[in-house]
Structure 1
Amino acid sequence: MSSFKGTTIVAVRKNGKVAIAGDGQVTAGDTILKSNAHKVRTLFDGKIITGFAGATADAFTLFELFEVKLKQYNGDITRSAVELAKQWRTDRQLRQLEAMMLVSDGTKIFLINGAGDVVDPERDAIGIGSGGNFALAAALAYLDTAPELTAREIAVKSVEIAAKLCIYTDDSIIVKEL
């Protein structure tokens, strides 16, 4: 879903749980700078999970702005996502941010980007970043064929597969679940 180099983030919803997993690799060009970055984190006192792809400083700005929206709208993830996307799209400085994020409250999942999109995936998985489509394909296959796996297990296995295919993704995986 994204051409951002340097990461894979996938969100999976199954049996009333949502897991977001991401790799830890940070790159600059063809150099690995770090392999244990935390691109998946909780917000709003642990009630929201989110993962980002793109420039790190831009992602931290988005985390902060999204948490402000969550507080402003009493944790309403839909309203907060829409308001963040509107602000991101219309604010001249924010439009320069090069990142996108997946957010979930444990039931809903949204992709938010600087084009003003707030996408609720049609299926129970979505991926972003350079390895996002690899992870998404794996997650959808697991959802269809592996009923014994949890959302968390599918998310982790999907990023592991992406790490084998995408040179900007590693297998140092952080996962959060609600």
Structure 2
Amino acid sequence: MFEGTTIVAVKKENGDYAMAGDGQVTLSERVVIKHKARKVRRIYNDEVIIGFAGSVSDAITLAEKFESYLEKHSGNIKRAAVEVAQSWRRDKVLTKLEAMLIALNKDTLLIISGTGEVIEPDDSVIAIGSGGSYALAAAKALVENTDLKAKEIVLKSMEIAANICVYTNNEITVESV
């Protein structure tokens, strides 16, 4: 379902946070149709970083819906995410969207799914997409065993995932604070 993308995010205690995503878009699990897609971007006055995975149109719909609720709630990520989830569950068409989104700012790290879940991880690292488990493992190891900055951790984690996952490439976009 989420093939062709990997997104990883790290939020450190000192206000250092970053997110990275690869650029690969895969059609029908067999053909790479784009190498440099940008799936990580800043929104809400550059205070919030989002990264999305899944069906392209579904992921963009989820990101746009989240961004509109973020504006409505003055940048409150948790409130916007809950409202997206509530609206998602009320709409019979939207409940079938195949997408996930990571939202990150200085205070909050969340996953928002296209099926209406909002998940706050137990620790400061999260990843989604086909190579997400590889990037997640790498990021957790780097957070626990190095003094690297968040930007360096997400970049290195994406490089590791790209070397393992066929749906993840080395065209990496990083956004950090």
TM-score norm. by structure 2 comes to: 0.95
1:30 Cα deviation from its structure 2 partner? 1.1
Question: CA shift at 1:62, angstroms?
Answer: 1.3
| Structure 1 position 93, deviation (Å) | 1.5
Give the structure 2 partner of residue 37 of structure 1.
Answer: 37
Kept in 2: contact 1:127–1:133 (CA 8 A) = yes
Q: What is the aligned partner in structure 1 of residue 8 from structure 2? A: 10
SS of the residue corresponding to residue 46 of structure 1 reads: coil
Aligned counterpart, 2:154: 155
User: Using the alignment, how far apart are the partners of 1:125 and 1:131 within structure 2?
Assistant: 14
Q: Check whether the contact 1:25–1:35 (CA below 8 A) recurs between aligned residues.
A: yes
Distance in 2 between residues matched to 1:71 and 1:8, nearest whole Å: 26
Q: Secondary structure at the match of 1:37?
A: coil
C-alpha separation in 2, matches of 1:66 and 1:114: 11
Match of 2:69 in 1: 69
Shift of 1:56: 1.1
Per-residue displacement from partner, 1:44-84 (whole Å, max 9, x unpaired)? 12111100010111111112111110111111111001111
Q: Deviations over 1:31-54 (max 9, x none)?
A: 111110000011112111100010
SS at match of 2:36: coil
Tell me how far 1:87 sits from its aligned partner.
Answer: 1.2
Q: Distance in 1 between matches of 2:42 and 2:89?
A: 24
Q: How many residues align?
A: 175
C-alpha distance 95-58 of structure 1, shift in aligned 2 (>3 A) = same
Contact 1:89/1:114 (<8 A) preserved: no
Q: Is the Cα contact below 8 Å between 2:21 and 2:174 reproduced in 1?
A: yes
Counterpart code for 2:142: Y
Residue in 2 that maps onto 1:174 = 173
**Secondary structure, aligned partner of 1:171:** coil
Aligned equivalent of 2:21? 22
Residues 134-157 of structure 1 deviation map (CA, whole Å, 9 limit, x = unaligned): 00000000001111x100100010
Q: Is the 8 A contact 2:96 2:115 kept in 1?
A: no
Tell me the amino acid that sits aligned with residue 125 of structure 2. Answer: A
Q: Distance in 2 between matches of 1:7 and 1:91?
A: 26
Please, which runs of 5 or more residues in structure 1 have no aligned partner? Answer: none
Q: What's the Cα RMSD here?
A: 1.1
Q: Alignment partner of 2:61: what SS? A: helix
Partner of 1:51: 51
Q: Which runs of 5+ in 2 are unaligned?
A: none
The TM-score normalised by the length of structure 1 is 0.94
Cα distance in 2 between the residues matched to 1:141 and 1:87: 36
- Does the 8 A contact of 2:95 with 2:116 survive in 1? no
Aligned partner letter, 1:62: L
Contact 1:17 1:107 in 2 (8 A): no
Give 1:124 deviation, angstroms: 1.0
Letter in 2 for 1:89: R
- Distance in 1 of aligned mates of 2:115 and 2:64: 19
